[in-house]
A = this chain, B = another copy of it.
Amino acid sequence: MLVVMKHRATADEIDAVVDTIRELGYDARPIPGALRTAVGLIGNDGHVDTARLEGMPGVAQCITVTQPFKQVSREWKEDDTVVELANGTRIGGTEIAIMAGPCAVESEEQILTAARTLRDMGATVLRGGAFKPRTSPYSFQGLGEEGLRLLAKARDETGMAIITEAVDPDGVDLVAEYADIIQIGARNMQNYPLLRRAGRSDTPVMLKRGMSATIDEWLLAAEYLVAEGNHDVILCERGIRSFNTYTRNIFDLSAIPVVRELSHLPVVADPSHATGIRSKVVPMARAAVASGADGLIVEVHPDPPKALSDGAQSLYFEQFAELMEQSRVIARAIGRDLLPALASPTASS
């Protein structure tokens, strides 16, 4: 529930509302706005005595948030959330962010080659898994902290921001030391201890949709992050499970305009995991941009046939160049654009 204060409400009046909400047994969160402040009442608000709040000095009205998710809803916050990274990448604004890189960090040469090339092609965020959740215990599980160090090296050299996955609560702080965005993978979308820990981090979080998550469940998982205080949350549609077998998953692109209406959080699309087939990544990246996605995250590998994981869906560099070009044209066709490429580090020094 939102308690909207009058335009001229005083700080004392706002404090009194906060105190009253706490007395009622809920958490209160002041949300300053350009014209007036609202105070969010956080928790299961089915039985709140709104009359008591509405009668307080300075209160304009109480607005019930009808959705099960609260702080991530458009009812709670009308303006789009824009997540800003240290290297200037903005996710959720007019311009579309491109994240790219290999499925897993495999070696210094591999990740540096990828970073340099992708940066030159216009990507501003580098993806690469250091901790890999794998279906079989006998598959390559990632380089661990060594992978994180290699990612940091790639950032230092190229200026790209880093996104990489944390797979358990204890790993969140470690990943946050090295990364600009902590990724929560599809298999962990409802790993609540992990969400809570990531929600207490200062680092932005990208939350992938679970393989069979409804949109409500996805937004409620995001609510776990925001409820702990981390408001820099990015959603990621990556395909859902279906009976269909030609593609690995069904890319639920309709979810993008649906989520944009329900929530103020930015939403990016992952055509690599959604299709699982290299030749389908470019057309579906175009479609994702056309549907209104705020960004793309794409798997690209310097030598896809030798990739230690997900080789069949990793693009060659030349395919990524084509994707950039086509996505840019589509973005402009709908009044947006891709984010500008990073300035060359040599040029800027």
Contact = CB atoms under 8 A, between A and B. Distances in A.
Interface in A301-349: 326, 329-330, 332-334
Given A240-B244, A287-B253, A212 B214 contact: no
A187 interface: yes
Contacts of A211: 212
Contact of A283 (B168, B240, B257): B257
Interface stretch (A88-96, A99-107, A109-117, A220-228): A220-228
B188 A191 contact: yes
Contact of A191 (B135, B191, B286, B333): B191
A295 to B, nearest CB: 15
A246 B215 contact: yes
A66 interface: no
A332 B333 CA distance: 9
Interface of A: 42-44, 68-70, 133-139, 167-171, 187-188, 190-194, 211-212, 214-215, 217, 220, 223-224, 227, 240-247, 250-258, 261, 274-275, 277, 279-280, 283-284, 286-292, 326, 329-330, 332-334
29 contacts: A44-B138, A44-B139, A133-B192, A135-B217, A138-B227, A167-B192, A169-B170, A170-B170, A187-B190, A212-B212, A212-B243, A241-B243, A242-B242, A244-B252, A246-B254, A247-B254, A253-B253, A253-B284, A253-B287, A254-B275, A258-B277, A283-B290, A284-B291, A286-B290, A286-B291, A287-B290, A287-B291, A326-B333, A330-B333
Given A137-B224, A212-B241, A329-B334, 13 more contacts: A68-B135, A135-B220, A188-B190, A214-B246, A251-B254, A253-B284, A256-B283, A257-B283, A257-B284, A258-B277, A283-B291, A286-B291, A326-B334
